[in-house]
Amino acid sequence: MTPVAGAEPPPRRRRRPLLPYGLLAPAAAVLALVLGYPLARLVVISVQDYGLRSLFTGTVGWAGLANYLAVLGSPDLGPVLARSIGFCAALMVGTLVIGLAVALLMGRLGRRMRAAVMFALIAAWAIPNVASTLVWQWLFQPVYGVLNWLLSRVGVLGDLTQHDWTTSAFSAFALVWLLVVWQSVPFVALTLHAGLTQIPRSYYEAAAIDGAGPVRVFATITLPFLRPVLGLVTILSVIWDFTVFNQIWILTQGGPSGQTTTLGIWTFTTAFSKNSFGQGGAIAVVSVLLLLAMTAVYVRRLVRSGETL
């Protein structure tokens, strides 16, 4: 589809070879200064002795690998890593399974029912992150939270009316998990639904004539067609779920006693509460590398497909 691909470019495009660079310049400048430079600086900070004193005096000493050694030698590292990866996986699986189920369901609903599901998705998506986190706090509030009351009524878990979900690590994570899945399903479901509507109907008709069952239809038609979109939402889910911050910070601040501290929270508290920007930087670099490792296959495929961009 690239209009100017292939053939010799028309001569008038040669006359002003600088124009495309001019058009690109503002975007390139902002990206380089506000994303590129800080990323490079992050790496530099991680080998510096950047603390509260440097913040005021402006003089910074080199720390070599001391920050990394401190992070890698910290007794917190293991639990934080396990928590971050486990939580990310739990969020990702929850979001993708529910999102795919809803997307498949939407394709088989009547017009009105589909509009209702679409409305529910858009509503949950549109409520800003911070607002829904505060509403969540209120839903599960000890004594007055309506969901504690409802759960107590159902009675399976006993009387929960006084229960504070943030006092144990497991239930605090459950609380955050429910919130993040609730927030992220809309994007995944709508994108997958959009992908599903692109599959030509004739394939399904042919499959029906051949007498293929629903499982076979899903495996041989739906899944292969959906793969690029599925890849996209999976990778975005990994990135977002691995870096969830607001919800944990507002609901638990990483507590009780650090038991819901993930890499993002650890980075933040190390830098801004303990004023150790160097160590915080080292944790951030470790998380970027970890995320890169998790998404490497996808990034490689993207860069390779860049040949035809």
Partner 1 sequence: MRIARNAAATLFCAVWLFPVYWMVNTAFKPYGDILSATPRFLPFPFTVANFADAIGKPGFLHDLGNSVLVTGAVVVVAIVVAFLAATALTRFRFPGRRGFLIAVLVVQMVPVPALVIPLFLSLKSVHLLDTFLGLGLTYVALVLPFTIWTLRGFLQGIPVELEEAAMVDGAGRGTVIRRILLPLVLPGIIATSVFAFITAWNDFLFAYVIMKDQSGYTLPVWLVSFSTSTGTDYGGLIAASTLFALPVVVFFALVQRRLVEGMTAGAVKG
Q: Is 102 in the site for partner 1 (CB under 8 A)?
A: yes
Least distance to partner 1, CB of residue 50, Å? 7
Contacts with 158 (C-beta within 8 Å, 6 or more apart), sequence order: 152
Q: Is 35 in the site for partner 1 (CB under 8 A)?
A: yes
Nearest-10 crossing angle of helices 77-107, 169-197: 40
Helices (H), 155-276: 169-197, 201-209, 214-217, 223-242, 246-251, 263-268
Q: Is 243 in the site for partner 1 (CB under 8 A)?
A: yes
Q: How many CB atoms lie within 10 A of CB 19?
A: 10
Least distance to partner 1, CB of residue 248, Å? 11
Three-state SS for 255? coil
The residue within the footprint of partner 1, chosen from 9, 61, 64, 86 (CB under 8 A), is: 9
Q: Which of residues 158-187 bind partner 1 (CB under 8 A)?
A: 161, 182, 185
How many residues touch partner 1 under the rule CB under 8 A: the total is 109
Q: Is 62 in the site for partner 1 (CB under 8 A)?
A: no
Q: Is 143 in the site for partner 1 (CB under 8 A)?
A: yes
Q: Is 11 in the site for partner 1 (CB under 8 A)?
A: no
Q: Is 61 in the site for partner 1 (CB under 8 A)?
A: no
- Hey, what's the torsion of the CAs at 86, 90, 93, 98, to 10 degrees? -170
The residue within the footprint of partner 1, chosen from 30, 65, 93, 97 (CB under 8 A), is: 30
Contacts with 260 (C-beta within 8 Å, 6 or more apart), sequence order: 83, 169, 172, 173, 176, 248, 252, 254
Least distance to partner 1, CB of residue 143, Å? 7
